[in-house]
Structure 1
Amino acid sequence: MSVFMDLNVLFSPDRNRLQGVIETAAHLGFSTVAINYVFEPSSKKKQEVPVPCPISELIDQLPVVQGRSRPIRVLNRLTVLMSDSSHFRPSAPEYRRFDLLAVQPTTEKLFHAACMLYDVDIVCISVTEKLPFIFKRAPINGAVERGVVFEVSYSAAIRDATMRRYTIANAVCLMDSCKGKNVILSSAAEKALELRGPYDVTNLGLLFGLSDGDAKEAVSSTCRAVLLHAGNKYYSTSTASTTGSTAMSTTAIVMMMKEDEGQPSAKRCSGRPSGPSGPPHLRPPSSV
């Protein structure tokens, strides 16, 4: 049975709205969601990276996933909107407060750097405007080799007809370059009405140019590989206990996934994955 994930639910200071989104995601069958904190640095004034709120303060009780016997899992994610290279600080300790780290580059140079150099998990593709550059194979292939994924979100297409055209056009251009590899589909939902079920999202993937198999993986196994990539990244540098990070370690992520797959807990004792996981093009490095 597939385990579905939505790794982009926008953070809202309105606790009731955010709780409604998470409850709807659980009802639709998503086993894991990531609350996304968007950070847009400015060159005019110094800005602080947001601090993720503890899940227990946002939600009184986690809802049970439809068709499963366990509650939904909620992660924290940071997305940095980049219009200048100085907006991303590779060694920033603030980034380690989050389980997932994403960037959204706005220029071709920054897109190349995000694919080839930056230690991130997700590269976001803009869906609200026409991209000022075209996707080239070299950085795309570099990102695939490093286990970095590309994200296309769909909620903007629900809100506005113009953004719908941009979403489809930008997504199709990406699929032409990456051939459907390392792509995840997420909602970027601000409210519950903007969420769609996993199979509806799969159908959207077909509209974006994904094959049937790649569209299914974009809401399941490729998302799973993103979490493994994030866990391996933190594990390879230092453990959460020594950095003071609230982000999950590889151990916690692997335990979480084995629980979702119904595997016995006796197999959940290693500090790293026991073998390659996820699609072949997204398996974590064997050296970690």
Structure 2
Amino acid sequence: MSENKTSIRKKHMEFTPMVPETTFQYADLSIKHIDAENTLAMVRRAIRMGYDAVAINIDLGDISDYYTELDMLWTPGSQNNVDGEPPKKKKKKQQRKDELADGIAGILKKKLIPPPHYVDVSQLNTSELEKRGKVFRQFSRITFTANEQVVINKVFIHPTILSYDIVAVRPGEPSVLDTLSRKTELFDIITIDHLEEERRKWLSVSKVMDRIRNDGVFYEIAYAESLMPATRKNTLFNGRVLIRSLKSKNIIFSSGAETMLDLRSPVDVMNMSLLWGVANNEARKMISGFPKNLLLQAECRGTGNGDVCSMKLSDAEKLAGNGEEEEQDGASEEKVVVGKEEEAEKVKAPPIEVRMNHSQYQALLQATKNANDMMKKIKASKAASSS
């Protein structure tokens, strides 16, 4: 059982865009999955339009309609009747039985959370992307509406939810938004698609929204709803309120497409952003820069916390080799190639308390040397000015 759980929790994404070969240009992080053929056709069209990163989105709607806890069903302690029980106690037992029956009936009506869906890359034509030096990437995403605070505590620890690359939440009430502000490490996007007119009160809670944004969560505007006359007015209004509240920071544009007609090219999306009052220099970030930051944040979600080690400047000087006394205890030393023409020099390995790789350690040593040189120059200039 434990092996199955660990396999479900393992995430698909391996995304660390640190070099030009692994970066992407444009991303659409909301292509809705309805059936396999339709999803494959939309992904093919997105690639032809110039997107090199897509997220296949499964929208559950209200999460309370799905199983969120399978093994935490409350059962009464004892169902046996004891002779001579007080009438009040018998009445309470009967009430518990009725509650249990109602609870079981409600659970039987609920549905299972579906697993992530991916398209077969061998059925895609990525030659145009390869000519531009890009690599196609696909990510899994799940979106659900949260109307109850109690349900939120159970959803994010669900093993199937943890297997998705991106988790998006659609809040229904301001109280739900306040609860989400304390759980920002468990999800990546707050979306306003399908947001009903009477449930957009939380868009004006700017302080809570700023707190969520500062924790690395992004907000999403789906432009597919603005293409339909029935939802155009509501979508444009909600998007303008959101952009005004967040000052165009940490906001992404995605299609939210259910059919191929809902997809638009990156240039068209940047032109459409003028309808929400977005400047031209900010529009590119919302389909390229901010999605890249979002995916990096999503990759880190669920991993262990980082460790920071502090030390005295004198100890750092000893590690950097600037001190007069250099201790050589026979510890393990590693060779570092500085340049083609320079000789390799031996540097002590970092202590166990410093949790960093060798390249980060070398950067720390170089920064320490630069700081010491700067301090020496400042002291020398002060001494010259005083004399």
Q: TM-score range by the shorter chain?
A: 0.7 to 0.9
Confirm whether residue 78 of structure 1 aligns to residue 142 of structure 2: yes
Structure 2 residue aligned with 1:111: 177
Within a 5 Å distance, the mapping from 1:204-243 to structure 2 comes to: 204-236=272-304
Within a 5 Å distance, the mapping from 1:61-210 to structure 2 comes to: 61-64=123-126, 65-66=128-129, 68-70=132-134, 72-88=136-152, 89-118=155-184, 119-127=186-194, 129-130=196-197, 131-133=199-201, 134-158=203-227, 160-210=228-278
Alpha-carbon separation, structure 2, partners of 1:140 and 1:83: 17
Conserved? CA contact 1:100–1:230, under 8 Å = yes
Instruction: Sort the Cα spacing of 1:196 and 1:77 in 2 relative to 1 into closer, same or farther, 3 A.
Output: same
Structure 2 residue aligned with 1:4: 26
Conserved? CA contact 1:128–1:163, under 8 Å = no
Conserved? CA contact 1:63–1:72, under 8 Å = no
TM-superposed CA distance for 1:210, in Å, is 2.0
TM-score by length of structure 2 reads 0.57
Alpha-carbon separation, structure 2, partners of 1:161 and 1:115: 33
TM-superposed CA distance for 1:50, in Å, is 1.1
* Aligned equivalent of 1:30, options 48, 51, 66: 51
Structure 2 residue aligned with 1:47: 111
Task: Give the % identical residues.
Answer: 25
Alpha-carbon separation, structure 1, partners of 2:192 and 2:181: 12
User: Any stretches of 5+ residues in structure 1 without a counterpart?
Assistant: 239-269, 275-288
CA RMSD of aligned residues (A): 2.4
Alpha-carbon separation, structure 1, partners of 2:111 and 2:39: 24
Structure showing greater relative contact order (alpha-carbon pairs closer than 8 Å, 6 or more residues apart): 1
Structure 1 SS opposite 2:52? strand
Instruction: Sort the Cα spacing of 1:54 and 1:24 in 2 relative to 1 into closer, same or farther, 3 A.
Output: closer
Give the number of the structure whose residues are more often helix, by fraction: 2
Structure 1 residue aligned with 2:41: 20
- My pick for the range that moved more, 66-75 or 144-153, is 66-75
Structure 1 SS opposite 2:140? strand
Structure 2 SS opposite 1:234? coil
Conserved? CA contact 1:152–1:171, under 8 Å = yes
**Rg larger for:** 2
TM-superposed CA distance for 1:140, in Å, is 1.5
TM-superposed CA distance for 1:223, in Å, is 0.1
TM-superposed CA distance for 1:6, in Å, is 0.2
Alpha-carbon separation, structure 1, partners of 2:241 and 2:187: 22
Amino acid paired to 1:222 = F
TM-superposed CA distance for 1:112, in Å, is 2.7
Alpha-carbon separation, structure 1, partners of 2:139 and 2:274: 27
Alpha-carbon separation, structure 2, partners of 1:135 and 1:149: 16
Instruction: Sort the Cα spacing of 1:5 and 1:228 in 2 relative to 1 into closer, same or farther, 3 A.
Output: same
Alpha-carbon separation, structure 2, partners of 1:132 and 1:141: 16
Structure 1 SS opposite 2:304? helix
Instruction: Sort the Cα spacing of 1:213 and 1:138 in 2 relative to 1 into closer, same or farther, 3 A.
Output: same
Alpha-carbon separation, structure 2, partners of 1:173 and 1:197: 25
Alpha-carbon separation, structure 2, partners of 1:147 and 1:16: 34
Amino acid paired to 2:174 = E
Alpha-carbon separation, structure 2, partners of 1:236 and 1:205: 37
Amino acid paired to 1:147 = G
Instruction: Sort the Cα spacing of 1:156 and 1:128 in 2 relative to 1 into closer, same or farther, 3 A.
Output: farther
